[in-house]
Amino acid sequence: MNIERRFSTRSDTARDAANSRVIVGHAARFNVITDIGGQFLECVKPGAFQRSIREGVDTALLVNHDPSLIGGRVSNGSLRLEEDSLGLRFRCDVIRTRAGDDLIECLRTGTLNRCSFGFTVPEGGDRWSYAMDSQGNRRHLRELTDVTLMDCSIVTFPQYAGTDAAIQEGESLAAVAARGGTPLELRSAIARTLESSRLSPRERELYSAALLLETE
């Protein structure tokens, strides 16, 4: 079985995270073109993960694709996956092991905050064409349209830009909003926006602060 993994040797910025054992993020982003080791360009198309999700493939949440550093998995319900408008979104209740504790601490301190994914490609699960790279060179482009998802990983060096991972606050944001003085419909809308994980770190901080002010 040829398992492909997507992470590179590039570093990225870090960010502090909230205090919880629930982590959320995007392990892949749709329609983001990346260079695979100088060999070819690649991007993930919407729908590429739908079959794996629908069939309940036992995807694991790992650290740097290491199967000995597991945080959760689909088969026991600790890892939940879905496609949203951005890409492959995950939510994981990290297990209480040393590896899980280390992962939480790395996310909490901002040491890790990006993702990757490991996969195999069934027959007909990709298509090839050509595209221009950032230097104006004509390159082979591989579009992933159907993959078997083996793992989502929190990684040190992601291959794809735009992935994210963060600790979700232990208390439901909807519950926080429900305690405030702002009209319920507006509080609920803000809470749903926060829970979608589609905000930048700064936007998330500002929205969270707005909700918390309402509770004081």
Each residue of 22-72: pLDDT tens digit?
999 999 999 999 999 999 999 999 999 999 999 999 999 999 999 999 999
Give residue 175's pLDDT. 44
Give residue 4's pLDDT. 76
| Segment 135-164 mean pLDDT | 96
Lowest mean pLDDT among 15-19, 39-43, 83-87, 163-167: 15-19
Q: In the chain, what is the straight-line distance between the N-terminal and C-terminal CA atoms, in Å? A: 55
Give residue 177's pLDDT. 45
Give residue 17's pLDDT. 35
φ/ψ of 166, rounded to 5, equals: -155, 160
Give residue 75's pLDDT. 96
Give residue 68's pLDDT. 97
Give residue 156's pLDDT. 96
- Return the higher-pLDDT residue of 8 and 168: 168
pLDDT over 70 (residue 184): no
| Segment 196-211 mean pLDDT | 60
Position 5 confidence tier, pLDDT thresholds 50, 70, 90: confident
Q: Which residue has the tokens 């989502």?
A: 152
3-state secondary structure (DSSP) of residue 83: strand
Kindly report the three-state secondary structure assignment for every residue of 11-79. Answer: CCCCCCCCCCCEEEEEEEEECCCEEECCCEEEEECCCCCHHHHHHCCCCEEEECCEEEEEEEEHHHCCE
Each residue of 80-93: pLDDT tens digit?
999 999 999 999 99
- Return the higher-pLDDT residue of 136 and 178: 136
Cross-strand bridge partners of residue 211: none
